[in-house]
Amino acid sequence: MAIKAILFDLDNTLVDFMRMKKLCSEATIHAMVDAGLRMPQDRALRLLFKMYWKHGIEDQNIFEKFLRATIGKVDYKILASGVVAYRKVKAGHLVPYPHVRETLIKLKEKGMLLGIVSDAPRMQAWLRLAELNLTDFFDFVIALEDTGKRKPSKLPFRAAIKKLGLQPEEILFVGDSPARDIKGAKSVGMRTALAAYGLVKGSAKKAGADFVLRDIKNLQKIV
């Protein structure tokens, strides 16, 4: 069957999210230390990312939790300095990967239905798309609230299939995580493309995807 729709993961597939997160976090810690946090910056940064992995990379209260863990309370002078630094850096570094916009334009010209399946909360997912100026390309977003389950659970993928009204084999899923994106999409019968350019860790050879993308523009050849 011909591919009629393409679903995308968001972070590290359309946007280099982890690079942005690292730069923002470094700026945050630097600002907090300048504001009075008595802790070596490298140690503080390691602890912050340890807390991200524990509480979730999208945790909106992570800096408060970080301060309680390090100094036993929320010092609002330190907190405000960190938040402002984070926002300033984020504004300049949350950008799409190369060729994302031109590829989405070509896919829409071909009549492709496009959607997002993300583990992010709905508002955060739409905010990122808005910040990237990509909202008009996508027909819908399946976010964490829609099923309460994260990938590779079948539920988010099934929700997307229902939205599209297509057969799974008519849908191509594009994502950077072999364990979450590729495994989950394949489990419901979708075709899959690994965004190898966004791999944080792991091997593209072991992903088991139908296609491996070294550049997102390669999607144009597949469809």
Q: Which whole number is the average pLDDT over 44-65? A: 93
For residue range 92-122, list pLDDT tens digits in order.
Answer: 888 899 999 999 999 999 999 999 999 999 9
Of 58, 93, 128, which marks where a domain is finished? 93
Q: Are residues 50 and 75 in the same domain?
A: yes
| Tokens 């393409």, residue located | 6
Residue keyed to tokens 């599209």: 164
Instruction: State the sign of the Cα–Cα–Cα–Cα dihedral 49, 51, 57, 63.
Output: negative
Express each pLDDT in 167-213 by its tens digit: 999 999 999 999 999 999 999 999 999 999 987 655 455 568 999 99
Is the domain of 128 the same as that of 218?
A: yes
CATH number of the domain that 72 lies in? 1.10.150.520
Residues 118 and 82 in one domain: no
Counting the structural domains of the chain, the total is 2
Per-residue b or e along 108-131, where b marks 16 or more CB atoms closer than 10 Å to that residue's CB: eeeebbbbbbbbbeeebbbebbee
Question: Of 93, 120, 145, which residue constitutes the final position of a domain?
Answer: 93
DSSP string, 132-144: TT-GGG-SEEE-H
Could you tell me if 107 and 57 lie in one domain?
Answer: no
Q: Tell whether the model's pLDDT for residue 56 goes beyond 90.
A: no
At 113-150, the pLDDT tens digits run 999 999 999 998 999 899 899 999 999 999 999 999 99
Residue 10 and residue 39 in one domain: no
d(CA 166, CA 157): 12
- How high is the pLDDT of residue 49? 96
Alpha helices in the chain (DSSP H): 17-34, 41-55, 62-71, 76-93, 100-109, 122-131, 144-147, 154-164, 183-187, 219-222
Domain that holds residue 36: 18-93
pLDDT in tens, 24-50: 999 999 999 999 999 999 999 999 999
> Do 175 and 214 sit in the same domain of this protein?
yes
Whether residues 75 and 105 fall in one domain: no
CATH classification of the domain holding 143: 3.40.50.1000
Residue ending a domain, among 93, 112, 138, is 93
Q: What is the per-residue pLDDT for 1?
A: 82
DSSP letter assigned to residue 114: E
